[in-house]
């Protein structure tokens, strides 16, 4: 979470060129891959997270949070939440 509007705008525009740390970049790459097609996530992705300092607990937390947001957004979309 951040109050930095410029960072938020950069992430929304193209996270790959946003001013984030290498650790954050690996995490966001993982979350994007997980969100697009979780079946494509593999050992290399997990090892990439470990290589930048995430332990098993951190990897689990990243995965659970991203998955929960994906789930709840799909439920909201299916029920028309937020649509007029």
Q: Within a domain: residue 32?
A: yes
Give the tens place of pLDDT for each residue, 27-49: 999 999 999 999 999 999 999 99
Determine, yes or no, domain membership for 43: yes
DSSP string, the chain: ----HHHHHHHHHHGGGSS--HHHHHHHHHHHHHHH-GGG--HHHHHHHHHTT--HHHHHHHHHHHHHHHHHHHHHHHHTTT--
Evaluate if pTM is beyond 0.75. Answer: yes
pLDDT at 22: 96
Q: What pLDDT band is residue 4 in, cutting at 50, 70 and 90?
A: confident
Q: What is the CATH number of the domain that holds 74?
A: 1.20.1290.10
Question: By residue range, what is the domain housing residue 39?
Answer: 20-79
Mean pLDDT of 64-70: 97
Question: 14 lies in a domain?
Answer: no
Per the structure, how many domains does the chain have?
Answer: 1
Residue 11 in any domain: the answer is: no
**Mean pLDDT for all residues in the chain:** 94
pLDDT band at 21 (very low <50, low <70, confident <90, very high): very high
Asked whether residue 50 is assigned to any structural domain, the reply reads yes
């Amino acid at each position: 979470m951040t109050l930095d509007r410029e960072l938020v705008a950069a992430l929304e525009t193209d996270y790959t060129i946003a001013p984030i740390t290498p650790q954050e970049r690996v995490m966001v790459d993982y979350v994007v891959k997980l969100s697009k097609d979780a079946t494509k996530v593999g050992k290399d992705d997990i090892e990439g997270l470990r290589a930048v300092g995430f332990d098993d607990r951190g990897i689990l937390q990243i995965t659970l949070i991203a998955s929960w947001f994906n789930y709840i957004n799909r439920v909201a979309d299916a029920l028309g939440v937020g649509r007029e």
